[in-house]
Amino acid sequence: MRTPVVLVREGFAAVDEHVPNGDGQASVGNPYRPVAVALDLAHDCDSLLDFAFEAARNRAAPLHAVYAWRLPHTRTGTDEGDMPARSDAEWALDSMLDPWRDKYPDVTVHAEAEHTRPVHAVLRAAEHAGLLVLGREIRRGAVGGRTGHVTRMAIQHVSCPIAVVAHE
């Protein structure tokens, strides 16, 4: 199925999508919390980015795009060459986002290439989000759908609504 699915936890109220006041109370008069989107740069992310940017624009909310990357583990147990890899990851993320920034100039974008496991980056990004946007790869010829590990963990642990968007 190609239609995005939005999962909302029982007890979640519309006011929960808004930034709290100084006293910690959220109000629908306050700005919306950011829309967070997790990206896997090995896949086409156009449908995911289209959904995320539209959601951010409709809410007049910032967009927090996160990409988690890992280096192969070395014999010494450390990740050698971390700085060039970080620069490459940040460049790749910015390159993917640049056309979308041009298409949606009114959406403030915060991009973060994080050296960690994807599930950790997603859970951190969702902590302050009003909506989390995740992708689900379309599997041709497979019986039934398959929800990936990151999406399953988000469904179990994230309190904000989660939009699951199918992509190629």
Each domain of the chain, given as residue ranges in start order, spans: 5-167
Q: What pLDDT does 1 receive? A: 59
Amino acid at 29: G
Does residue 144 register a pLDDT over 80? no
pTM of the model: 0.88
Comparing 75 with 65, the larger pLDDT belongs to 65
Q: Name which of 130, 158, 163 is nearest 31 in CA terms.
A: 130
Averaged pLDDT score across all residues of the chain: 87
Residue 83 phi, psi dihedral angles, 5° rounding: -65, -45
Mean pLDDT, residues 163-167: 89
- Indicate the pairing of strand 162-167 with strand 5-7: antiparallel
Q: Apex CA 10: angle with CA 7 and CA 16, to 5°?
A: 80
CATH T-level fold of 5-167: Rossmann fold (3.40.50)
- 134 confidence band (pLDDT: 50, 70, 90): very high
| CB neighbours of residue 20 within 10 Å | 13
- Tens digit of pLDDT for each residue in 68-98? 987 655 444 445 455 668 889 999 999 999 9
Spatial separation of the C-alpha atoms in residues 147 and 149, rounded to whole Å: 7
